Amino acid sequence: MTEQQDAYPSMTISTDQSSENIAPIKLGERLKEIRRTLGLTLEEASQKTGLARSTLSKIENEQISPTFQAMQKLTNGLDINIPQLFAAPKKVNTTGRRDITRNELGKSHPTSTYEHELLATQLSNKKMMPFKSLVRARSFDDYSDWIRHDGEEFLLVLKGEITFFSEYYEPVNLSEGDSVYYDANMGHMLASVSEDDALILWVTAS
């Protein structure tokens, strides 16, 4: 029976691009947000823009619409550009998700050259895939082909020493505490060169 070619654990990447209904931009609210972001009081904004404090207050409270001349004074005085006045404020969507994986209690995923321990397995649609791996392979010849997949990858050696092979670079040895960040579409593979199997942390992202 042919042994399965080594590949990294599969990832489920969040690709939700569903559109939301966008409310019309309220210029007054946007101006107030910009002023507060700049740490300015109405009086300070008035001094910078040359617009009366009462005028600024009425604009912010949607009681009047600024003339083009007033908008020029706002952008010049606050050192912003006109498009910024019409840009929708960024929404901060906090999910509050978290997943704790106790030491050595991750999900095991063995292959012929690695012993993977998948971390944070309770979370779906992750944007990163973290896992620890014991590197069983001892040479380049232990692989039938380069490993490559979408995304970017970060590798940190936790214990031992490895040789990091990559398609476009000369092999390099990495010891405990060393790390490498690379394009995972580039062919790559690892081999332990320490007496015991090396232990590494991998984080894959797309």
Domains of the chain with bracketed CATH: 27-87 (1.10.260.40), 107-205 (2.60.120.10)
What is d(CA 163, CA 189) in angstroms, rounded to the nearest whole number? 8
| Residue whose C-alpha is closest to residue 59's, from 40, 77, 44, 46 | 46
Contact 129, 156 (CB under 8 A): no
Mean pLDDT, contiguous 10-residue spans, the chain (206 residues)? 50 44 69 88 91 91 88 88 73 77 91 92 87 94 91 96 96 97 95 95 91
| Burial of 61 per CB tally in 10 Å (0-12, 13-18, 19+) | exposed
Type of residue numbered 115: E
Predicted local confidence at residue 6, as pLDDT: 52
The rounded Cα 97 to chain-centroid distance in angstroms is: 15
Predicted local confidence at residue 126, as pLDDT: 84
Predicted local confidence at residue 11, as pLDDT: 46
Predicted local confidence at residue 81, as pLDDT: 83
